[in-house]
Amino acid sequence: MSLCALGLAEAAAEIREGRITSVELVTACLDRVAEVDGDVQAWVFLDREHVLRQAEALDEQRRHGRPTGPLHGVPIAIKDIFDTSDYPTELGSPLWAGRTPRNDAVAVARLRAAGAVIMGKTVTAEYAYFHPGKTRNPHDKERTPGGSSMGSPAAVAALMVPGAIGSQTNGSAIRPAAYCGVVGFKPSHGLIPRTGALLLSRPLDHVAVFARSVEDVALLAEVLAGFDDEDLDTRPLASPPFVAAAASEPPLPPRFAFVKSPFWDHAEPVTREAFAELVDVLGEDVAEVEIGESFGRALEFHSTVMEVDMAHNLHRDYEQGRDQMSPRLRQLIERGRNYKAVDYTGAVAGKEALNASLDFVFDEYDAILTPAAPGEAPLGMETGNPVFCTLWTYLGTPAITLPLLASEAGLPLGVQLVGRRGNDARLLRTARWLATKLGPAGGG
């Protein structure tokens, strides 16, 4: 097996035990980039010599017996909305061309502290919104990889890197992970600090992670999680034991609530058929549960919050360079300027009541089972419909997508699991159990 196909935890273990070096792993990943990125186009900034210098320094550190972190020598890709002190950060916009931050985002700093090699910056949609970048789906270059975190899951899927970070304010991580056929994990709101990343909406912005297994996203999330006094939504709690939780066996077989949600009419026939088969395979472990039409208002609430916050946070860019923004982004900002304060306040407040309304589900079931996207990755470059992600982003609940289903054309269909807000470890354990039970593209 080529070294570039190693999983994140496996690669870290191989380096830690001295069976391979970081330089060997990084070289294999760089060679893979040279081989396939002409078609995929996942990267916006990647400097081969700089990456190798990082790997050499980490190998030297290990040879001298210095402490090593859980990701020592392993390359990680960074969505180009996170500040990096050694690479430009351009936010997918010509307005920020050539911007070179002085400091790393907190997420990037934590990756470096864990020993990761910062491989480079991956393509993002403009301002992490809808207008797509250049990246293509690794499974079919005529199809979108989804967005706005386009390059990160595409790079992981194409074996250019074993792990990556991205973000989600609507469906920007779960949807592209599903389209690209990798595991994408959006933790509970406030679990991973967003300091030094593009601010779109404080109530909605999440840092997300990508890898090729549940165990690997658990490792990334454990490294990144924790308090940061500059992110007021984080809390000073003990570090979550995500790796141990994901590897543990549930005391009883998990039970799943199959929730079609009020948005089921957006599900394409291929998704409806695949989930019917999945429910059949799971048998007594799953039951269909109605969550009520009140959750349908989440789309309206989410839009209100996101549009007002983006209009506020991108105000200066709009005033100084609206002609260099996509029409869709300009229209969002202009809509966001016209809301009433009482509507925005009500939309922000609505999430607490809806979260409380889910207690009856999580009191009985380990996780909600629902699609990650309406169907397989669409043809063309439009980033796709986030409708099956919006509710869970708005509520701030943890969500993970697993590449367990496939269309007749062999394209990935993601299975999204959602957990109770703050109960990320249990969700990871449940997701690992389901992935083990079904295997890749199982039940489809």
Long-range contacts, stretch 434-439, CB < 8 angstroms, 24+ apart: 434/254, 434/256, 434/402, 434/404, 435/183, 435/213, 435/214, 435/402, 435/404, 438/278, 438/281, 438/404, 439/404
**C-alpha distances in angstroms, 383 versus 156, 364, 373?**
18, 35, 11
**How many residues would you count in the chain?**
444
| 75-79 and 256-258 beta bridge pairing | unpaired
HEC letters along 341-406: HHHHHHHHHHHHHHHHHCHHHHCCCCEEEEECCCCCCCECCCCCCCHHHHHHHHHCCCEEEEEEEE
For the chain, how far is it from start to end, CA to CA, in angstroms?
27
Q: Quickly tell me which residue has 């454990």 as its tokens.
A: 222
Nearest partner of 174 among 376, 399, 381, 433, judged by Cα: 399
Phi-psi region of 197 (alpha: psi -120 to 50; beta: other; left: phi over 0): beta
| 256-258 and 286-288 beta bridge pairing | parallel
Give catalytic residue positions: 79, 148, 172
Would you call the peptide bond into 357 cis, given omega within 30 degrees of 0 as the criterion? no
Quickly count: other Cβ atoms within 10 Å of residue 207's Cβ: 26
Give CA–CA dist 152/176, Å, rounded.
9
Q: Show the tokens assigned to 302.
A: 């989410």
